[in-house]
């Protein structure tokens, strides 16, 4: 188990560093150690995958937990990638991760905008997608993986979350959350048995209806925001 999320129970032998901005940072250390010990040789394909992991986990280096160390690691990986002129380069890796979307992903974001809600005078932005909406629009739960970034973009939002109803169990709802400042979304998700870190966390909620699930999560976020600002 290699991770950078400080919450949750390890499920195997593990290497977890909550100070790392991305799991890819931890993988990079393993890579460097393996090269140093002669277990493997430097490989631009490995560098591309680690770079892509860090790039995606940090939102293209946009999140607050990105450190100078993150950029030094990225620079080292970029040198390896650039040295292999025949392989895919960093700009294309970025485009593949952030510059394109499937029709299903765009439809999922459309639904997220349609169902947008705000709380706490706009400090919390949220949305939801029901199983019926998934079916009616011909999209899958995988298409909705990045939808939490939609409410997060709202000007004035300190935190954002999206509730997605499972297409397999109508009582199960998956919650993704993000923070734009020091609001600890992992503390809210922990109330429902979830985890993550301060600025990105998730959990599952069980309820009889989408409205009930959404209200449970919204109430928890509003309460946490009120406590933080009281």
Domain edges within the chain: 2-98, 103-228
Write out the chain's pLDDT in tens, 230 residues. 888 766 567 777 878 888 899 999 999 999 999 999 999 999 999 999 999 999 999 989 988 789 999 999 999 999 999 999 999 999 999 999 988 999 999 999 999 999 999 999 999 999 999 999 999 999 999 999 999 999 999 999 999 999 999 999 999 999 999 999 889 999 999 999 998 888 889 999 999 999 999 999 999 999 999 998 87
The C-alpha angle 181, 24, 36, rounded to 5 degrees, equals 140
Q: What pLDDT score does 11 carry?
A: 75
For 2-98, which CATH superfamily applies?
Answer: inorganic pyrophosphatase (n-terminal core) (3.90.1640.10)
Q: What pLDDT score does 214 carry?
A: 98
What's the DSSP call for residue 203? E
Q: Mark 136-170 as b/e (b = at least 16 C-beta within 10 Å).
A: eeebebebbebbbebbbebeebbbbbbbbbeeeee
Contacts of 145 (CB under 8 A, 6+ apart): 105, 176
Q: Coil, strand, or helix at residue 29?
A: helix
Per CATH, the number for 103-228 is: 3.10.310.30
CA 223, distance to chain mean position in Å, is 23
pTM of structure: 0.76
């Amino acid at each position: 188990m290699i991770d950078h999320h400080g919450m949750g129970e390890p499920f195997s032998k593990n290497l977890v560093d909550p100070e790392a901005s991305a799991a890819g940072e931890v993988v990079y250390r393993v890579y460097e150690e393996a090269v140093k010990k002669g277990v493997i040789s430097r490989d631009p394909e490995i560098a591309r995958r680690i770079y892509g992991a860090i790039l995606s986990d940090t939102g293209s280096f946009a999140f607050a937990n990105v450190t100078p160390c993150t950029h030094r690691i990225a620079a080292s990986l970029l040198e390896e990638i650039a040295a292999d002129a025949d392989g895919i380069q960093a700009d294309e890796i970025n485009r593949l991760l952030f510059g394109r979307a499937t029709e299903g992903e765009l439809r999922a974001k459309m639904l997220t905008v349609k169902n947008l809600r705000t709380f706490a005078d706009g400090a919390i932005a949220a949305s939801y997608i029901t199983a019926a909406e998934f079916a009616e629009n011909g999209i899958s739960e995988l298409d909705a993986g990045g939808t939490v970034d939609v409410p997060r973009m709202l000007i004035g939002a300190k935190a954002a979350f999206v509730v997605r109803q499972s297409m397999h169990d109508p009582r199960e709802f998956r919650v993704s959350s993000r923070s734009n400042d020091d609001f600890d979304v992992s503390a809210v998700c922990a109330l429902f048995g979830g985890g993550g870190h301060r600025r990105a966390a998730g959990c599952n909620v069980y309820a009889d209806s989408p409205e009930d699930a959404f209200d449970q999560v919204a109430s928890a976020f509003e309460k946490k925001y009120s406590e933080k600002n009281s």
